[in-house]
Amino acid sequence: MARLLPPTLQILRRRCASRSHFSTAPSPVSPPSKAVLYDEHGAPDQVLRVADVPPVHLGDRDVCVRMLAAPINPSDINRIEGVYPVRPPLPGAVGGYEGVGQVHALGPAVTAPLSPGDWVIPSPPSFGTWQTYIVKHESVWHKVRSDVPMEYAATVTVNPLTALRMLQDFVKLNPGDAIVQNGATSIVGQSVIQLAKVHGIHTINIIRDRPGSEEAKDKLKQLGADEVFMESQLDMKNVKNLLGALPEPALGFNCVGGNAASLLLKFLRQGGTMVTYGGMSKRPVTVPTSYFIFKDISLRGFWLQRWMNSDKAEDCRTMIDYLLGLVHEGKLKYEMELIPFGKLSLALEKALGKDGSQPKQVMRF
Ligand SMILES: NC(=O)c1ccc[n+]([C@@H]2O[C@H](COP(=O)([O-])OP(=O)(O)OC[C@H]3O[C@@H](n4cnc5c(N)ncnc54)[C@H](OP(=O)(O)O)[C@@H]3O)[C@@H](O)[C@H]2O)c1
């Protein structure tokens, strides 16, 4: 209701609220919450439990958010397994790192332009998004547009922002240039294809051989991929003959490792750079000596969390708004499956790929 008030009344409402800071009125309290918790590291299906969390009092500048949706990303799984370098403390860690919610209540001295009903995301993202209500300081929350599907607001930070940064931070690309990537069916991969297209950059994409890979190939082409190859198609000496009129790429993105990284390297031009940002196959990157000597290739790495901690991260919220703008314009889309919170086990099973390849699982609270 409050979001329908004219701006002047909203300001008045906030001022009244902040005055109550000096009154003896009791501070607002969050509703009881349900959270996905773990007390020790291990396989998600072994260590996760859904538990009731009692209501908490809001501090003066806290905002209580009713979560709408949050994805299960590979890094969420790695945190639960205990193999991710930065993890929430145990016991009582809550899963999840990004997501979208709706402002439920404001502490009496909140000054951010937030009203009940607004959509907000934690930005930079922060631990513990897999719960129905979250109370955090107002500075944590970034108001986002609510005219896009909630699953996009829930997933915009970790993967699309990674794609955007990697396209901008390593090699200066001009319209007409090309990049190469493996793991192209991932959300990062799908985002790379579309963000590159917006800037006139061609993409050469490598996907793994699996049931449904022909269909996946067609979907990536519909998103704007110039070329999509299955790994088995690249078992040849001169893969560059497959490029036709496309220029040799100066930049490659690797989120798989093993053979898929070796195939990516075959495409890189003299002096090219491969950026590794994931290791889905759990196999190491192996580089032939000749690639260093005769091609002078560079190997780099990207980690969004490190980038978020740098001074460059100041513009993070502007980039989020830009990305959601592209979603709104229909220029950025990717496959997701919204799954009710009550079906957490099923969502985890799918996210872990136990039943083969699945779209990104997004829990709806
Ligand atoms: N460094 C960073 O800051 C950063 C940020 C964001 C994401 N990431 C990483 O980026 C990668 C993609 O994340 P995402 O959320 O976009 O992925 P996602 O949408 O969950 O998709 C998973 C991807 O991994 C592929 N895959 C799964 N198991 C595989 C295996 N055993 N061998 C080869 N490929 C496999 C899938 O291929 P199919 O379609 O064939 O199943 C799919 O392309 C992950 O490694 C993630 O940790 C890193």
Check pocket membership of 280 for ligand 1, CB cut-off 6 A: yes
Averaged pLDDT score across all residues of the chain: 92
| Strand (E) or helix (H) holding 93 | strand 93-94
Roughly what angle, to the nearest 10 degrees, separates helices 158-169 and 187-198?
A: 50
pLDDT tens for 278-299 read: 999 999 999 999 999 999 999 9
Residue 354 has what pLDDT? 78
> What CA–CA distance (Å, rounded) separates 304 from 81?
19
Residue 60 has what pLDDT? 97
**Do the beta carbons of residue 223 and residue 193 sit within 8 Å?**
yes
User: How big, in percent rounded to 5, are the helix, strand and coil portions of the chain?
Assistant: 35, 25, 40
Reduce the DSSP state of residue 145 to 3 states and report it: coil
User: Nearest Cα to 164, choosing from 288, 58, 253?
Assistant: 253
In terms of phi and psi (left: phi > 0; alpha: psi -120 to 50; beta: otherwise), the region of 117 is left
Residue 312 has what pLDDT? 72
> What CA–CA distance (Å, rounded) separates 29 from 88?
24
| Whether the predicted pLDDT of 11 surpasses 80 | no
The number of CA neighbours under 13 Å toward the Cβ of 94 is 18
C-alpha of residue 247 to centroid of ligand 1, in Å:
26
Percentage, residues of the chain above pLDDT 90: 89
Check pocket membership of 75 for ligand 1, CB cut-off 6 A: yes
| Whether the predicted pLDDT of 12 surpasses 90 | no
Residue 25 has what pLDDT? 65
Q: Average pLDDT, stretch 65-93?
A: 96
In terms of Cβ atoms closer than 10 Å to its own Cβ (0-12, 13-18, 19+), residue 349 is middle
User: Nearest Cα to 234, choosing from 269, 214, 208, 212?
Assistant: 208
| Whether the predicted pLDDT of 357 surpasses 80 | yes
More confident residue, 199 or 11: 199
Q: Which of 188, 230, 285 to mutate to test the pocket of ligand 1 (most atoms within 8 A of CB)?
A: 188
Q: Which of 280, 282, 319 to mutate to test the pocket of ligand 1 (most atoms within 8 A of CB)?
A: 280
Domain-wise residue ranges, the chain: 2-155+335-364, 160-306
> What CA–CA distance (Å, rounded) separates 169 from 307?
10
Residue 351's pLDDT band, with cuts at 50, 70 and 90, is very high
Q: Examine the residue annotation and report whether 277 is marked as an active-site residue of this protein.
A: no
Residue 313 has what pLDDT? 67
C-alpha of residue 82 to centroid of ligand 1, in Å:
18
| Whether the predicted pLDDT of 170 surpasses 60 | yes
Residue 107's alpha-carbon distances to 20, 53, 132, 186, in angstroms, are 10, 19, 18, 39
Residue 20 has what pLDDT? 40
Q: Which two tokens stand for residue 310?
A: 């740098």
| Whether the predicted pLDDT of 17 surpasses 70 | no
∠314-182-166 over CA atoms, to 5°?
15
CATH number of 160-306: 3.40.50.720
Check pocket membership of 303 for ligand 1, CB cut-off 6 A: yes
| Whether the predicted pLDDT of 267 surpasses 50 | yes
pLDDT tens for 115-133 read: 999 999 999 999 999 999 9
More confident residue, 164 or 356: 164
Q: Which two tokens stand for residue 1?
A: 């209701």
Query: Which architecture characterizes domain 2-155+335-364 according to CATH?
Result: Alpha-Beta Complex (3.90)
Check pocket membership of 336 for ligand 1, CB cut-off 6 A: no
| Whether the predicted pLDDT of 15 surpasses 50 | no
pTM over 0.95: no
